[in-house]
């Protein structure tokens, strides 16, 4: 019996060492080619975050939805400080949710696309920047091969979150087998990746470089609407202003964060932008509500917006100081992302 237990312990040790070695190989090979992508709106404000990876000199693969309806943007390699402007797009397919963006400098070593074998149950790793957390690696298996409309996708069990979109899905040798693209929030670790063969097709049929703005289908403007981006899972409601001699410029707001899902959510990131009368941004502030909001419930919170920008609007008599009349004509809210709590 003792011998059997010893053998089992040795087997577990071998498996653990093997997993660590595979993870280390993937980190060393894939991290230097992985980037954080920030897409920007017409005013140069952050609009979405995503991931991507080098597939050729100056060329980064990502999801089309990461850059969709963007006017500019930049990338930053994982754990590096330098940023590189997105010069344009040299390939895209919205059906496959894939895009090839060109950056301003030739740096890093591209990941080879060799179409390795794909089997249900095989070990895989996902590398990306979930919720903006740079250089995050998660592991899992290929859970299934699914048909979606006119093309196939990989169902994977490795956890992904907003910000992982466009990141590489690799095997234990660090070879790309897919591109992380979306998740089914109602399930547990039901995530999907586009097979690398579709990315190879795109890379072999590049187009002449076009600008990000040339692909915009929805003409976004500084519409001053209370919510410029539809995140139906979370909404902000029941706004009120804190008015007193300490807060005379409508810059302190109380509001409710409503969770419209059945599951708990947390780490709700939102941005508030203050505009001038001509639609130019005066200032903005990012916020993180780190608390958990239970399913179908709401929580009350408050923030303080950039005071000097609102004071300027008040001095120009564009916002009434005491009643805050006109406030929503110059303030825009964007819900950037949130995390679903799996139980």
Catalytic residue among 65, 251, 270, 289: 65
What is the chain's Cα-based Rg? 23
> What is the DSSP code (8-state) at residue 210?
B
Q: Is 165 an active-site residue?
A: yes
- Beta strands (DSSP E) in the chain are 34-40, 46-56, 59-62, 72-77, 83-93, 98-103, 123-128, 136-148, 151-156, 168-170, 176-183, 191-195, 234-241, 252-259, 265-275, 281-289, 298-304, 331-340
| Residue with the two structure tokens 């998660």 | 138
- Phi and psi of 191, rounded to 5°? -125, 160
Cβ neighbours of residue 262 closer than 8 Å, sequence gap 6 or more: 186, 295, 296
Catalytic residue among 51, 70, 165, 228: 165
> What is the DSSP code (8-state) at residue 314?
H
Which among 85, 255, 13, 52 has a CA at the least distance from the CA of 164? 52
| Residue with the two structure tokens 């979370």 | 234
Q: What is the distance between the alpha carbons of residues 273 and 292, in angstroms, rounded to a whole number?
A: 25
The CA-based angle 310-44-270, given to 5 degrees, is: 60
Catalytic residue among 72, 97, 138, 337: 97
Q: Is 150 an active-site residue?
A: no
The pair of three-digit structure tokens given for residue 24, joined into one six-digit string:
């280390």
Q: Is 329 an active-site residue?
A: no
Which positions are annotated as active-site residues?
65, 97, 165
């Amino acid at each position: 019996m003792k011998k059997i237990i010893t053998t089992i312990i040795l087997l577990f040790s071998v498996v653990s060492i093997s997993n660590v070695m595979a993870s280390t190989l993937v980190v060393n090979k894939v991290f230097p080619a992985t980037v954080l992508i920030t897409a920007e709106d017409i005013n140069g404000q952050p609009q979405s975050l995503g991931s991507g990876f080098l597939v050729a000199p100056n060329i980064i693969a990502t999801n089309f939805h990461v850059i969709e309806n963007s006017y500019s943007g930049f990338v930053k390699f994982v754990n590096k400080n330098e940023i590189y402007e997105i010069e344009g797009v040299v390939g895209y397919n919205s059906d496959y949710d894939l895009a090839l963006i060109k950056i301003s400098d030739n740096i890093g070593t591209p990941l080879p696309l060799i179409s390795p074998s794909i089997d249900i149950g095989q070990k895989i790793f996902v590398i990306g920047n979930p919720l903006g957390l740079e250089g995050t690696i998660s592991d899992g298996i290929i859970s299934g091969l699914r048909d979606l409309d006119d093309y196939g996708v990989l169902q994977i069990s490795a956890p992904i979150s907003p910000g992982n979109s466009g990141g590489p899905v690799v095997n234990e040798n660090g070879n790309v087998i897919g591109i992380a693209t979306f998740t089914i929030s109602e399930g547990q670790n039901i995530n999907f990746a586009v097979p690398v063969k579709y990315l190879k097709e795109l890379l072999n049929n590049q187009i002449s470089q076009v600008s990000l703005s040339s692909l915009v289908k929805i003409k976004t403007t500084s519409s001053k609407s209370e919510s410029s981006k539809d995140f139906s899972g979370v909404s902000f409601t029941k706004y009120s202003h804190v008015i007193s001699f300490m807060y005379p410029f409508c810059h302190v707001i109380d509001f409710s964060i409503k969770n419209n899902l059945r599951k708990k959510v947390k780490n709700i990131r939102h941005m508030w932008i203050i505009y001038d009368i001509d639609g130019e941004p005066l200032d903005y502030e990012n916020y993180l509500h780190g608390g958990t909001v239970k399913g179908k419930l709401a929580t009350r919170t408050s923030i303080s917006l950039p005071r000097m920008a609102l004071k300027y609007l008040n001095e120009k008599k564009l916002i009434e100081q005491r009643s805050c009349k006109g406030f929503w004509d110059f303030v825009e809210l964007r819900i950037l992302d949130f995390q679903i709590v799996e139980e």
